[in-house]
Amino acid sequence: MKRRTFLHKIGSILAVLGVTEAEWLTLGNRYYQALAQPNSRKLALLIGINQYSKIPNLSGCLTDVELQRELLINRFGFQGSDILTLTEEQASREFIEAAFLDHLGKQAKPGDIVAFHFSGYGTRVKLETSSDTIQNALVPANVALDLQDDKIVNHILEETLLLLLRSLSTDKVTAVLDTSYDTPNTVIGLKTRALQESVGKLATEELDFLKQLKTQKLSNTPIVLAATSEPKQPAREGLFSGFSAGLFTYALTQYLWEFTPATKIQVALSHVGNSLYKLGSKQKPALLSSQKNPDVTSLVADDIIGAEGAVSDIEEDGKTVHLWLAGLPPEVLLYYGVNSRFTLQTKEQLVLRSRAGLTAKAQISKIEGANPLQIGQLVQEAVRVLPRNINLTIAFDTGLERIERVDATSAFAGFSHVSTVVVGEKPADYVFAKLQETPSRYGLFSLGGDLIPNTTGEVGEAVKLTVQRLAPKLSTLLAAKLWRLTENGGSSRLALKATLEIINNISPRVVMQRQTVRTFRTETSIKKSVQTRLITSLPTPIVPIGSRMQYRVENQSDRPVYLILLGLNNNHTAVAFYSWETPQEPNTADTKPILQEVVIAPGESLTLPQKAASQWVISGSASECEQQLIFSTTTFSGTLSALNTAQYSTAEEGPIGPLLNPLDVAQALLQDLHNASPLKTEMNGTADSYILDVNNWASLSFSFQVV
C-alpha cells in the first residue's frame, strides 16, 4: 500500500472515531521520536484487552502484552520507543487499525522487522449481507459501534488483519494471535477467549476498509502464529503464581526466552504444544502461513544461548536487583524457592531472596572485583530450590452447590498432600466438577475441561464416595506433578540429546527430538546441532496404536550420566522404564529379577529398550502420552530402591510397564537429584527443600498423541 494511501486511510479512520490527528499524536507521542532513523528497525504493535463492555471480562491479556514486550526488548533487541501498546479502552477497532497503519505501515521499510500481537476475544460473525458467509473476527474494546444498537458489531475481521500484515513493505513480519473463535461446549476450568457467534451488521467502515485492502497488490507473506489449529478448539488463559496469562502466549514466550530461536516453526510449536498439554489444555497452536519451513520468527535474538530472565532494575546499593523471570517453565515458577541461584554472563551469581509472580528480588554473591550490574543483563538458572512439601491442588467448579463443596472439602482433607481451592481464586492442577451430561455424577477434569479417565463416580453417588475412589489417581497425578518440576532442557549444562523413534520399518522414523541447548560449546556447534534437530523434528507428534517404539539417547558431555524414564500413559496411569537384570543362578522359578542402573558413558549413545528381544509397543486407546527422561551425574539408587519395593509380577516384565508406587518413586527421584548437587552442604537453611544443580541434572519432556 502506497504511503499516500496510508496517510489518507488513517485520516478517514480517525474521522470515523471522531478523533483529531492531534489527539492521536498525543496518544502515541513517545513513538515518534525515532521516525527519521535511516537504518533497519524493529517495530512492534501489541494489543491486549481484559475489560469489555456488556460481556464477561478476561484476566490475562495485559500480562500477555507485558510478556511480549519484555521478550522483544530483552531477548530480541527492540527499543522500547519502537513498541506501541494498545490496552483496554485504547484498543478500539478504530485505534487498532489507525495504529497499524501509522506505527507499522508508515514506518516499516524493506528489511525492517515487525512484530504484532493480539490478546482478547475472538468470535465468528455471520454477516447480514450474505446468509452463508461466516467469518472469524477479533473483538475490540468497543464491541458495538453504537452501544444502544447491538446489531452493529464493531469487530475487526481476521481477513482484514491478514491483509494489513501482507501490506507491509518488509517480508520480516511475525504476528501472534492469542484468541479463538468458537465457544466450547464445556464451561469447566480455564477461561476461554471466544464469544458466541455474532449475527448482525458489521460496521460499514470495516467493510469499506476491507474492500480497499483487497484492491492493493500484496506480495508479502507474514508468519502468523495462532493459539489454536482447529475451529472448535478454545484458546485458554490460566491463573498462575499471582497473575493470569494466555496459555499460548506464556508457553511461546517462555520457549523463546530459553531456547535458541533460530529454529523452524514446527519445532517451536512442538515445544509449545507440549507445554500447553502440561498446563491442562489440549489446544494445538498453528501456523497460518503459506511459507515453506519458515523460521520461528523473523526475529534474531541478541544472544544465541538463551536465559530464564533479565535484570529489570537495580537498587541504590548496587547489589540488590529486580528480575523478570518469564523464561522459567510455568509449572516450575510457582514453586521456585528462596536461595535459588542465577548466573550472569559475566559469571557473577545472584541469590534469589523473594519472588512475586514473574518478578523477583536477588542479591549478588560476594565476589571480589565483580562487574557492575546493568539493567537488561540476561540471567541463567544455576541452582533450582524446590520445597519438599508440595501438594496437588484440586479446584471446585463453580457449578457445585454449597453443600457439595462442603462435602468435597471434607473428603479431600482426608488425603495428605492434597489441597483445595475454588476455580479462579488460586492456581490449581485439576478441577472437581459435575458431569454436564449426567449432573448426578462427579468427576475429575483437567483445567481445560477434559475428563480424566477412570475418575467418575456412579449415578447418584455421594460426593464423599466419589472422592474416596480417587485416592490412587490423586497419588499418580501428584507424582507426575513432581517429576514435571525437574524439567530443565533450557538450563541444564549437561550436553544430552534424546530422539523418540518408531521402528516398525527397516529405517527408524523420528517422531520428536529434545536436547539440552545451554552447554559449553561454541556458537557454531550449537547452530549445527540445532539444524540437525530441525531436519528430523515433526510439528505434530503422532504415534499410531501398535507402533514399536524406542528412544535413542546421546551423551555429548564429558561425564557418564544415569537415566530414569517416568511418565503417564494414555489413560493417566503411571509408567516407568525398567532395566531388568535376571539373576545368573535363580533358586526358584519365582525369583524376582532386579533393576540395574542405565548409564551412558561420555560420548556414547544407547537405545531404550536396550535389548532387541524386549519390545516397547504402543497399545490402548487413542489419547495423549507424556514421558520424562531424567538424567543425573550420580546414581539413582533411591529411585531404583523405590521401584524395587513394589510387588511386580515377573510375567509383566517389559521395558516400559506400570508404575505401582509412583509417588514414592517421584519423591525418591527428587532426593537423588538433590544428593547429586555438591552445593547442598554449602546452602544452610534449606533442610525443607530440594537443591538441584544445573551442572548435575537434565530433564527432557516428551508428549505425543496416540491415534
pLDDT for residue 197: 79
Most confident of 298-312, 588-602, 607-621, 652-666: 652-666
DSSP state of 120: S
Would you place residue 556 in the very low, low, confident or very high pLDDT band (cuts 50, 70, 90)?
A: very high
The DSSP output letter for 89 is G
When comparing pLDDT for 505 and 276, which is higher? Answer: 276
What per-residue confidence (pLDDT) applies to 531?
Answer: 36
Among 12-16, 365-369, 581-585, whose mean pLDDT is lowest?
12-16
Please return the burial class of 523, using the count of CB atoms within 10 Å of its CB with bins 0-12, 13-18 and 19+: exposed
In the predicted structure, residue 588 carries a pLDDT above the cut 80:
no
pLDDT over 90 percentage in the chain: 57
- 3-state class of 248 per DSSP? helix
Which residue in 261, 91, 101 sits closest to 179, CA to CA? 91
Please report which helix (H) or strand (E) contains residue 287, including its range.
strand 286-287
Residue 410's pLDDT is 96
The string of pLDDT tens digits covering residues 483-506 is 999 999 999 999 999 999 999 877
* Amino acid, res. 425: E
Please give the pLDDT value at position 620.
73
| Geometric angle at alpha carbon 88, from 87 and 92, rounded to 5° | 90
Where b means 16+ CB within 10 Å and e means fewer, 608-632 reads bbeeeeeebebeeeeebbbbbbbbb
**Could you give the 3-state DSSP secondary structure of residue 265?**
helix
Dist CA 88 CA 67 (whole Å): 16
Q: How confident is the model at residue 38, as a pLDDT?
A: 41
Is the pLDDT confidence value at 534 over 80? no
CB 235 within 8 A of CB 192: yes
Rg value, the chain, Cα: 27
- Has residue 532 got a pLDDT over 50? no
Q: Identify the bridge partners of residue 418 per DSSP, sorted by sequence position.
A: 392
Kindly tell me the burial class for residue 18, based on how many C-beta atoms sit within 10 Å of its own C-beta (0-12, 13-18, 19 or more): exposed
Most confident of 494-498, 521-525, 678-682: 494-498
Q: What is the pLDDT of residue 27?
A: 40
Smallest CA-to-CA distance from 225 within 258, 192, 183, 261 is with 261
Please report, for the chain, the start and end positions of each structural domain, with discontinuous segments joined by +: 3-183+190-287, 309-383, 392-476, 485-706
Lowest-confidence segment of 200-214, 252-266, 317-331 by average pLDDT: 252-266
Residue 646 has pLDDT above 80, yes or no: no
Q: Would you give the DSSP letter of residue 404?
A: H
Answer yes or no: are the C-beta atoms of 633 and 694 closer than 8 Å. Answer: no
Q: Please say whether the structural domain 392-476 has been given the CATH code 3.40.50.
A: no
Indicate the pLDDT class of residue 26, thresholds 50, 70 and 90.
very low
* Assigned CATH for 3-183+190-287: 3.40.50.1460
Query: 398-407, 416-425, 526-535 — which is least confidently predicted?
Result: 526-535
Q: Are 7 and 106 contacting, i.e. CB atoms less than 8 angstroms apart?
A: yes
Distance of CA 524 to the CA centre of its chain: 28
**pTM > 0.85: yes or no:** yes
- Digit-coded pLDDT (tens) for 109-144: 999 999 999 999 999 987 766 556 788 999 999 887
Residue-wise pLDDT for 71-88, tens only, equals 999 999 999 999 999 999
Residue 496 Cα to chain centre, angstroms:
22
pLDDT at 9 exceeding the cut of 60: no
Class of domain 309-383: mainly beta
Split at pLDDT 50, 70, 90, the class of 186 is confident
Residue 610 or 326, more confident: 326
* pLDDT tens, position by position, 37-58: 345 789 999 999 999 988 899 9
